[in-house]
Structure 1
Amino acid sequence: MSSGTPVAVVVVAMDDEAAPFLDLASEAAEPELVGRAQHRRLTLAGRPVVLVRSGIGFVNATAAGAGAIFRYGADVPLISAGSAGGLAKDVAVGDVVLGTRLVNADADARAFGYVLGQVPGMPEAYDAAPALADAVRRAAGAGAGSAAPVLREGTIASGEKFVTADLAAQLRADFPDVLAVDMESAALAQLCHSFGTGFVSVRAVSDLCAPDGTEFLTHVDDAALRSARLVTAALGVLAG
């Protein structure tokens, strides 16, 4: 397997989200630890890729993403993959959300004139890299291999809390345009903004922010597979 520069770094939080990428890979090297993050070189859609399992949450994601940027270069794009909670009322379990806009749901510096979701000194939100977002759209339009996902485009919000019913109601009021929520993508988007690294988030909906984690546990494997299939297909599009 090539030890050269990968075409992308795919960041997932959990082993459950890494597993389908390993299944889809035609080659997979042994894992390496970089800090607490696990890096594995894969061949996906005929292209060299690094899969990084970061751990859950902002700090784990940022540490893993920074390690990847310093190891592979700021010009190698990052893709946030895996599961998300569906927030918008018309989003369904199994939908795949292309995060064209990322916002930090925990940031609140309105007392100093910033908008809700804006970290002081940073943009109000972070936009996906157009070429990466277009590759995801094209892959979804081509059926993403054996699957034909329902692709939703819009805002993904990220925070440090697992979103259940009460918090979901507050987030819908605060961020009415948000389609889905996770615990990593906005942190990675801010990191990539700081380094000029291309970024996109492709998350499949595992739950609808139910009162407990049962729905998430039931559907996380399927959501991870849907995200992985679409990301892998998008890598093939980028190869062309």
Structure 2
Amino acid sequence: MGRKIAVISALQEELSEILQLMPDEQRVPIGGRTFWQGHLQDHDVVAVLSGIGKVAAATTTAVLLERFEPEMVIVTGVAGGLSMDASVGDIVVGTGFSQHDMDASPLFQRWEMPGYGRSRFDADPVLVQVLQEAAKDAVTWLPKLLDAQTMTELGLHRPHVHQGDIITGDRFISTAADSNALRAAFPEAWAVDMETAAVAQVCHDHGIPFGAVRVVSDRADEEAHVDFQHFLNQVARHYSARIVRKALNLL
């Protein structure tokens, strides 16, 4: 007996590849979003495009949980590599999520979420393990998808899978100065994006297990805007579909 699982993507390219795995998907428009219901790996699946940014991600997740009542939520997509050990093509399986632009001081400690007494939301440990195995499969499979020349052109050498924190903010990080500042403030963070921590907060509010996996598309520096779209089209959209299919097979 399968489960009811929700998959959230931030970008259309990622979502399109996942929908191709769901031949019976049905379109359900709600609140300016389109939700897709179907089946994948014997599970009932709801897939949705969140849009970019924390507000878009939070509103999408709230509607998703209220209307479709999934048993768990998975976010997949791309992110900027923050750790010095995170290279383009690596995959980060999130273990904790914080908002790097949250600052209600002096009323609260910097980065603390008002009303929560915390600055970090944890990933579901079962989903962490499942996504870890799915990500390992994806990095092994990638050289079979791309030839050696394409791997070299994209700067992909030997992609690795990492577990660690992912931080979120309403800003595309595209300078070395900004990434250095975030690295100093969040030494445990492996990647930075614009949606994940917002989704984690809404899932926390509803008591729904949550997991996230992000593919490093750029180094969050001056070349980020150049690398991002190219990597998304050539690699990340295929990665996302492979990871989701494998993860659902393991659940």
Q: Distance in 1 between matches of 2:120 and 2:65?
A: 21
**Aligned partner of 1:225 among 214, 233, 238:** 238
Q: How does 1:98-177 map to 2 (within 5 A)?
A: 98-114=93-109, 116-122=110-116, 123-141=118-136, 143-144=137-138, 147=141, 150-165=160-175, 166-177=177-188
Cα 1:41–1:113, aligned 2, differ >3 Å: closer, same or farther?
closer
The answer to whether the Cα contact below 8 Å between 1:159 and 1:184 also exists between their aligned partners in 2 is: yes
SS in 1 for 2:106: helix
1:16: which partner in 2?
13
Q: How does 1:87-98 map to 2 (within 5 A)?
A: 87-98=82-93
Q: Distance in 1 between matches of 2:92 and 2:103?
A: 25
- The two structures, once aligned, show a CA RMSD in angstroms of 2.0
The answer to whether the Cα contact below 8 Å between 1:28 and 1:40 also exists between their aligned partners in 2 is: no
The answer to whether the Cα contact below 8 Å between 1:145 and 1:229 also exists between their aligned partners in 2 is: no
- TM-score, length-normalised on structure 2? 0.85
- Cα deviation, residue 146, structure 1: 6.9
SS in 2 for 1:147: helix
1:53 equivalent to 2:49? Answer yes
1:70-97: CA deviations, max 9, x gaps? 1122x52111111111111110111111
**Aligned partner of 1:85 among 74, 77, 80:** 80
The answer to whether the Cα contact below 8 Å between 1:6 and 1:50 also exists between their aligned partners in 2 is: no
Q: Which residue identity is paired with 2:53?
A: G
Q: Which range is displaced more, 8-17 or 132-141? A: 132-141
Q: Distance in 1 between matches of 2:238 and 2:202?
A: 26
Structure 1 unmatched ranges of 5 or more: none
The answer to whether the Cα contact below 8 Å between 1:96 and 1:226 also exists between their aligned partners in 2 is: no
Q: Which residue identity is paired with 1:179?
A: W
Structure 2 unmatched ranges of 5 or more: 143-158
Cα 1:204–1:35, aligned 2, differ >3 Å: closer, same or farther?
same
SS in 2 for 1:31: strand
2:206: which partner in 1?
195
- Cα deviation, residue 49, structure 1: 0.8
1:109-145: CA deviations, max 9, x gaps? 342342x32211222200001111121123345x259
Cα 1:146–1:37, aligned 2, differ >3 Å: closer, same or farther?
farther
SS in 2 for 1:32: strand
Q: Which range is displaced more, 5-14 or 197-206? A: 5-14
The answer to whether the Cα contact below 8 Å between 1:7 and 1:76 also exists between their aligned partners in 2 is: yes
Q: Report how many residues are paired.
A: 230
Q: Distance in 2 between matches of 1:175 and 1:146?
A: 29
The answer to whether the Cα contact below 8 Å between 1:85 and 1:180 also exists between their aligned partners in 2 is: yes
The answer to whether the Cα contact below 8 Å between 2:108 and 2:114 also exists between their aligned partners in 1 is: no
SS in 1 for 2:101: coil
Percent identity reads 34
Q: Distance in 2 between matches of 1:190 and 1:228?
A: 24
